[in-house]
Amino acid sequence: MPSFLMTIIKRAEEMGHDFHRVFALKRAWFTGEMLAPALRKELEEKYGIETYQCYAVTDLGGCVAYECSEKAGMHFMDEYVIEIVDPDTGKQLGPGETGEIVATPIHNPVWGLIRYGTGDMAAYMAEPCPCGRTSCRITGIVGRTADAVKVRGMFVIAKQAEQVIAEFDQIAQFQLIVGRIGERDELVVKIELTDESIDEARLSVLLSERFPQVCRVRLDRIEYIPRGTIPQERRTIVDERRWE
| Domain membership of residue 33 as a residue range | 2-147
Of 100, 126, 147, which residue constitutes the final position of a domain?
A: 147
**Are 167 and 235 in the same domain?**
yes
Residues 38 and 71 in one domain: yes
Residues 66 and 52 sit within 8 Å (Cβ to Cβ): yes
With respect to residue 115, please indicate whether it lies within any of the assigned structural domains.
yes
* Per-residue model confidence (pLDDT) at position 36: 81
**Cα 193 from chain centroid (whole Å):** 25
Alpha helix segments (H runs only) across the chain: 2-14, 19-23, 37-41, 158-165, 200-215
Q: What total number of domains does the chain contain?
A: 2
% of the chain with per-residue pLDDT over 90: 63
- Identify the H or E element spanning 151: strand 148-151
For residue 168, pLDDT beyond 90:
yes
Domain check: are 134 and 189 in the same one? no
- How far does CA 76 lie from the centroid of its chain? 17
Q: Which residues pair with 94 in a beta bridge?
A: none
Task: Classify strands 27-30 and 74-76 as parallel, antiparallel or unpaired.
Answer: unpaired
Q: What is the pLDDT of residues 60-85, one digit of tens each?
A: 888 999 999 999 999 999 999 999 99
Same domain, 28 and 92: yes
What is the C-alpha separation between 40 and 31, in angstroms, rounded?
Answer: 13
Q: What CATH number does the domain containing 183 carry?
A: 3.30.300.30
Strand partners, 141: 122
Residue 244 lies in a domain: no
Which among 94, 125, 147 is the end of a domain? Answer: 147
pTM of the model: 0.69
Bridge partners of 170? none
Mean pLDDT across the stretch 46-54?
A: 94
Please report the pLDDT score of residue 243 as a whole number.
Answer: 62
